[in-house]
Amino acid sequence: MKILVINAGSSSLKYQLIDMENESVLAKGLCERIGIDGHLKHSPLVGGKPVFDEDLAMPTHSEAIAAVIDKLTSAEYGVVADMKEIDAVGHRVVHGGEKFASSVKIDDAVMQALEECTPFAPLHNPANITGINACRKVMGDVPMVAVFDTAFHQTMPGKAFMYAIPYEYYKNDGIRRYGFHGTSHRYVSSRCAELMGKPIEELKIISCHMGNGSSIAAIDGGKCVDTSMGFTPLVGLPMGTRCGDLDNGVVQFIMNKYGLSIDEMLNVLNKKSGVLGVSGVSSDFRDLDNAAAEGNERAQLALDMFHYWVGKVVGSYVAAMNGVDAIIFTAGVGENSKSSRAAIAEYFGYLGVEIDPEANSKRGEDIMISTPESKVKVFVIPTNEELVIARDTKEICC
Ligand code: ADP
């Protein structure tokens, strides 16, 4: 059985074709500049076929999907003989609101419900919906599944997801903490339980997804009980360019003083803040590491702030769960930056965490980076959201 996994953005579309017999990726690729001019990079990973990396007209997502199917099935770049070999499609959808606590088979009623979730993710959900519609148009009645970034967090109790504002805003408008990166937190926490050789029901796990966007989740017995992102992905930790937690009074002060509209203000908070805003150097942690090593104090401050926040949020989740068995690092920074992991682990001393520097210097594999004696285990687990989407799609469709 072969499953196509699609992650559609407003002008881009990432895909992987996964063979579920052995969960291997047959091909992957990225359509970019959809609606502008169009570019496709398609990489077959089996059969010794060449990479296709060229401009290709893509006025809409439909042409993008058609180009993907064309390449997947072509004699020169293809990995399957015919579109009929693609048994199902799994789509990443950012926001499922309170309607979706798990993945779901797509039909007209689901499409309607997705539209209703759009006000919660006005930039992301329309792109995801466009991707699904384009796929349905091009692929006909191939079964499709929606997998939500928010779904895993739906198990949070009211005390964790409610904001302390008038209750009517929750009741009438759905204003609450939803959380994001759920597919990643779900994957790494279940993999962590496997690595520990224990049922996830018996474990308290804190998962730190640290990439361009970062969030932390507290997972008790396999269920998410708290997470650091909220109604939007803007809050929690300071991120590459997003501010994270911020006193709302600051927003009013800056808007009044500099005459900014709310959209201009949100642009500052989403795109010009975080470690980029503090350092003035970059949103990329590699650049920050280099600048800090050369003595750039603001780059060091941005890194210190990020590490401190991860340590602080992890500490709050130890309290929330009344203990912790394992802490996981994942995503771009979590998987690659040994210096960030070591700096963050300095905040775990009270938990009896001991990091093994040799294990911490390895890359690209699931690995325990704490010593065997460490009271709380610390893991690096490369995330694999596409595999979760493919597994859910298989389970629901086949
Ligand atoms: P996204 O949130 O966009 O999925 P990723 O999880 O791919 O992001 O993370 C991207 C970030 O990972 C980059 O901005 C960079 O800061 C960081 N990163 C990647 N490689 C390294 C590295 N070797 N050292 C430090 N940071 C890294």
| Residues 49-88 pLDDT 10s | 999 999 999 999 999 999 999 999 999 999 999 999 999 9
Q: Are residues 245 and 375 in the same domain?
A: yes
Task: List the catalytic residue out of 19, 108, 149, 220.
Answer: 149
Q: Give me the sheet containing 204-210, strands edge to edge.
A: 223-227, 214-220, 204-210, 326-330, 377-380, 367-368
DSSP 50: P
> Which residues, 6 or more positions from 200, have their beta carbon under 8 angstroms from its beta carbon?
189, 190, 193, 219, 221, 222
Give domain status of residue 271, yes or no.
yes
CA distance 328 to 317: 13
Give domain status of residue 230, yes or no.
yes
CA distance 312 to 212: 19
Q: What residue numbers bound the domain in which 271 lies?
A: 200-380
Give domain status of residue 287, yes or no.
yes
Whole-model pTM?
A: 0.95
**Å from CA of 189 to ligand 1 middle:** 20
Give domain status of residue 195, yes or no.
no
**Å from CA of 30 to ligand 1 middle:** 18
Find the CATH number of the domain harbouring 98: 3.30.420.40
Q: Are residues 226 and 356 in the same domain?
A: yes
Taking a C-beta distance cutoff of 8 angstroms, is the pair 183, 149 a contact? yes
Give domain status of residue 180, yes or no.
no
Site to probe by mutation for ligand 1, drawn from 208, 283, 286 as the one with most ligand atoms within 8 Å of Cβ, is 286
Q: Are strands 39-44 and 52-55 parallel, antiparallel or unpaired?
A: antiparallel
Name residue 265's amino acid.
M
Ligand 1 atom closest to 213 (CA): 2
Q: Are residues 232 and 137 in the same domain?
A: no
| Residue 363 in contact with ligand 1 by CB distance below 6 A | no
Q: How far from 319 is each of 185, 220, 226, 315, CA to CA, in Å?
A: 19, 12, 11, 7
Query: In this structure, which residue's CA is closest to atom 23 in ligand 1?
Result: 336
Q: Are residues 134 and 204 in the same domain?
A: no
Q: Are residues 269 and 373 in the same domain?
A: yes
**Å from CA of 332 to ligand 1 middle:** 3
Could you give the number of structural domains in the chain?
2
- Annotated catalytic residue 53: no
Q: Are residues 248 and 141 in the same domain?
A: no
Which sign does the torsion angle of CA 71, 76, 79, 80 carry?
A: positive
pLDDT by residue for the chain (398 residues), tens only, comes to 999 999 999 899 999 999 999 999 999 999 999 999 999 999 999 999 999 999 999 999 999 999 999 999 999 999 999 999 999 999 999 999 999 999 999 999 999 999 999 999 988 899 999 999 999 999 999 999 999 999 999 999 999 999 999 999 999 999 999 999 999 999 999 999 999 999 999 999 999 999 999 999 999 999 999 999 999 999 999 999 999 999 999 999 999 999 999 999 999 999 999 999 999 999 999 999 999 999 999 999 999 999 999 999 999 999 999 999 999 999 999 999 999 999 999 999 999 999 999 999 998 899 999 999 999 999 999 999 999 999 999 999 98
> Which residues, 6 or more positions from 136, have their beta carbon under 8 angstroms from its beta carbon?
106, 144
| Residue 9 in contact with ligand 1 by CB distance below 6 A | no
Give domain status of residue 376, yes or no.
yes
Q: Which two tokens stand for residue 212?
A: 């361009």
Give domain status of residue 229, yes or no.
yes
Largest CA distance in the chain: 62
